[in-house]
Structure 1
Amino acid sequence: MPGEEQQNPVLLKLPTFWTTQPQVWFEQAEAQFHIRQITADDTRYYYVVSALDQNTAGRIIDYLREPPHENKYEGIKTLLNTTFGLTRRERAAKLLHMDGLGDRKPSELMNEILALMEGHKPCLLFEQIFLEQMPEDIRLLLAQDTFTDPRGLAARADELGQTKQQEGAYISRITALPRQEKQTVTRTATPSTANRDKWCYYHQRWGSDARRCRPPCMHPGNASAGRL
């Protein structure tokens, strides 16, 4: 009802416009419009204008002085995204020249890649870009996986990375032990780890979590154990 929308504006205050992430800002603004059932073009337009800081408003002052009679909101949304967002070529360049995983989780990297894709469906190049950012051992374990669920795949990469860190920490602790204590740990090792040197690369690296096996491998319970 008209009266209902006239009352809603006083209940909403949008955050100051994010010049570094204009598309994310509009997603949040439109969620607020939806919650409060604000649909009028002029109302949404003036909410956006009220959220601009001095420098941002100055960049688009020509539009603010003479906005169109219709579709004001879509017009300012397109203008701000074009002015402050990445161009299509810039997004492509960022995808092609990513500088590795760094200290991020694979799932965090996947979020960044999907944001740069802007709704495009994953393709062969998308898969390779993600895999090339992974450490080599994790990349080998993911190489045969499907990318039909990109975030699910990234979650699996998170788990593999966590397992790798835990095993590395365990090995470091054992290495740092005095010789006598180290021998005690070796003697009390469980049967499942006593013949670790006879396991294949994948089981040595990931233990029972390994998804692949390269015979001969003596990992306990492995169907192909001992086979050449």
Structure 2
Amino acid sequence: MPGGDSFDQQNAVSLKLPTFWKSQPQVWFEQAEVQFHIRQITTDTTKYYYVVSALDQDTAEQIIDFLPRPPKDNKYGGFKTLLLNTFGLSRHDRVAKLLHMNGLGDRKPSALMDEMLALMDGHTTCFIF
């Protein structure tokens, strides 16, 4: 390279994330992170911009204070936390849903258990289980 200057070269990557799912933000982020991994996207700022581009108008309006002034470092992590805290179920909401679930109905027992475990969100110490 002339002059001894060095620079980081990044290859253009094509990625179109689905519109953000306010009703299932954790699942949406799991899928987004898989897409980042497949396309070898590791840069914090790039991940942040992809996630912002996947917001619909209503979602963007709810978190408008963050968008014009993201932090210099950890943009993606901070934004992910904000979206999960804003749209994810609180611990209280999860417990209420568990305690007030409909019965088995016409579902298989495994489908009911999957729904219950999803509401547990990885917590293993619970009197119900």
Shift of 1:16: 0.4
Task: Quote the Cα distance in structure 2 between the aligned partners of 1:78 and 1:97.
Answer: 27
The DSSP-based 3-state class of the residue aligned with 1:67 is: coil
Q: Which residue of 1 aligns with 2:66?
A: 63
**Superposition RMSD on alpha carbons, in Å?**
1.3
**Number of aligned residues:** 122
Task: Quote the Cα distance in structure 2 between the aligned partners of 1:104 and 1:66.
Answer: 46
Q: Which residue of 1 aligns with 2:18?
A: 15
Shift of 1:96: 1.4
Indicate yes or no: 2:35 matched with 1:32: yes
Residue identity matched to 1:47: Y
Higher-RCO chain (CA-CA 8 Å, sequence separation at least 6): 2
Trace 1:59-98 onto structure 2 (pairs within 5 A): 59-98=62-101
Shift of 1:28: 0.1
Residues 124/21 of structure 1: CA separation in 2 closer, same or farther (3 Å cut): same
TM-score, normalized by length of structure 2? Answer: 0.89
Q: Which structure has the greater CA radius of gyration?
A: 1
Indicate yes or no: 2:114 matched with 1:111: yes
Shift of 1:82: 1.0
Trace 1:168-207 onto structure 2 (pairs within 5 A): none
Shift of 1:59: 0.6
Task: Quote the Cα distance in structure 2 between the aligned partners of 1:72 and 1:124.
Answer: 37
Q: Which runs of 4+ in 1 moved over 3 A?
A: none
Q: Which residue of 2 aligns with 1:134?
A: none
Shift of 1:121: 2.1
Residue identity matched to 2:50: Y
Relative to its length, the structure with more helix (as a share) is 1
Match of 2:53 among 46, 50, 54: 50
Shift of 1:124: 4.6
Task: Quote the Cα distance in structure 1 between the aligned partners of 2:118 and 2:51.
Answer: 23
1:110-148 CA distance string (max 9 Å, x none) = 11111111112265522xxxxxxxxxxxxxxxxxxxxxx
The DSSP-based 3-state class of the residue aligned with 1:18 is: coil
The DSSP-based 3-state class of the residue aligned with 1:12 is: coil
TM-score, normalized by length of structure 1? Answer: 0.51
Task: Quote the Cα distance in structure 2 between the aligned partners of 1:93 and 1:124.
Answer: 14
Structure 2 residue ranges without an equivalent (≥5): 1-7
